[in-house]
Structure 1
Amino acid sequence: MASVFTMIMEGKIPGNFVWKDDKSVAILTIQPIRQGHVLVIPREEVDQWSDLPLELAAHLMQVSHNIANALKIAYPSTRVGLMIAGLEVPHTHIHLVPMDSMDDLSFAFAKPADGDVLKQTAEKIRGVLVEQGFSEAEH
C-alpha cells in the first residue's frame, strides 16, 4: 500500500509543495511545530533513512540545504533545525523547522494548520527559492 506521502506526490491527497524534482519533493506538514515546517521526502518509498541509497541520501541533504537557506529568509530564526524521526509514516522524510530554541523542535507543540495559512507559507518559501534560481520550486 502506498504511503500517505506517495499519495500526495501522485495527487490523490492535496499537498502544499515547495520543491519537486525527479528524486524528491518537499511539502509543508499539516501539523507544523512552527510556521515554515517543511518535509523533504524521496519519491522512492524507503522506510528508514539508513536504508536509502547513498546517492539519494546525499540528494535529500542537498535539497534540505537549499530549502533551509530559503527558510532563513522567509522565516528568520536563529537556526533551521533538521530532524529525521519517521515513526508516524513508514516513508523516509526530513523535517526542516525554523527554530529559536530547542523547544521549537518538540512535536509536543505541533498542531493542525489552517489550509489558507499553509498555502501562503508555501507561496512564500517557493518565492524565495525561485529568487535564488531554483526552478524546482516553480509549479
Structure 2
Amino acid sequence: MPSIFTRIIQGEIPCYKIAENDRFFAFLDINPNAIGHTLCVPKKEVDKLLDLDEETYTGLMAFARKVGLALEAAVPCKRVGMTVIGLEVPHVHVHLIPLQTMANATFQHKVSLTPGEFEEVAARIRASL
C-alpha cells in the first residue's frame, strides 16, 4: 500500500506544493511546528534514510538545501533547521523548519494555519526558488 506521501506525490491527496523535479517533491507540513515547515521527499518510496542509494541521498540533500534557502528567504526566522526522523510515515522525509527558538524543533509545539495562510506561505516560498 502506498504511503501518504506517495499518494500526495501522485495527486491523490491535495497538498501545498513548494517544488518538484523528476526525483523529489517538497510540500508544506499540514501539522507544522512553525509557519513554513516544509517536507522534502524522494518520489521513490523508501522507508529509511540510510536505505537510500548514495545518488538519491545526496540528491535529496541538494534538493532540500535549495528549498531551505528559498524558505529562509521567504519566512523570517533565525535559521532553518533540518531533521530526519521518519517514524511517523514510512517514506523518507526531510523536515525543514523555520526556527525562532529550540521549541520550534521539538515537535511538541504546533501552529495552526487557515487554508489561505498555507497558500500564501507556499506562494512566498515558491517565489523565492
Q: Structure 1 length normalisation: TM-score?
A: 0.89
Partner of 1:120: 120
2:52 & 2:3 partners in 1: Cα distance?
Answer: 16
1:109-139 superposed Cα distances (whole Å, 9 cap, x missing partner): 124532221111111100111xxxxxxxxxx
> Counterparts of 1:111 and 1:73 in 2: how far apart (Å)?
20
Do structure 1's residue 39 and structure 2's residue 39 form an aligned pair? Answer: yes
- Asked whether the 8 Å contact 2:31–2:112 carries over to 1, the reply is yes
Instruction: Report the CA distance shift for 1:20/1:105 in structure 2 as closer, same or farther (over 3 A).
Output: same
Percent of matched pairs sharing the same residue: 37
Counterpart CA distance in 1 for 2:12 and 2:50 is 28
The CA RMSD measured in Å over matched residues stands at 1.0
Q: How many residues align?
A: 129
Task: For residues 24-51 of structure 1, give each alpha carbon's deviation from its aligned partner in whole angstroms, at most 9, with x where no partner exists.
Answer: 1000010010001000000011000010
Amino acid at match of 2:92: T
SS of the counterpart of 1:109? coil
Contact 2:35–2:111 (Cα < 8 Å) also in 1: no
Partner residue in 1 for 2:9: 9
Residue deviations 1:43-91, cap 9 Å, x none?
0110000100110010111111111111121112111100001111000
Unpaired runs of 5+ in structure 1? Answer: 130-139
Q: Quote the offset at 1:100 in angstroms.
A: 2.1
Instruction: Give the alignment's TM-score, normalised by structure 2.
Output: 0.95
**Contact 2:39–2:96 (Cα < 8 Å) also in 1:** yes
The AA in structure 2 aligned to 1:77 is: C
Are 2:97 and 1:97 equivalent residues in the alignment?
A: yes
